Amino acid sequence: MDDRPIGIIDSGIGGISILNEVRKYLPCENYIYYADSINNPYGNKPKEEIIKIVDNIIKYFIKYNVKIVIIACNTASTQTISYLRNNYKDILFVAVEPAIKVAYDKYKDKNVLVMATPGTIHSDRLMSLAKEYYQKNRILLPCTNLAELIENENLEEIPIYLDNLFKNIDYNQIEVVILGCTHYPFIKKYIENALNHKVIFVDGANGVKKRVEFLLQENNVFNNKNNQGTLTIILTKKETENIIRNYLVNNSNVCFKYKDKSSI
Known catalytic residues? 73, 181
Distance between CA atoms of residues 79 and 96, nearest Å: 11
For residue 36, give the nearest of 161, 147, 139 by alpha carbon.
147
Peptide bond into 142 cis (omega under 30): no
DSSP H stretches of helix in 15-99: 16-25, 47-62, 74-87
Strands of the 138-142 sheet, one edge to the other: 138-142, 112-116, 176-179, 200-202
Distance between CA atoms of residues 86 and 214, nearest Å: 21
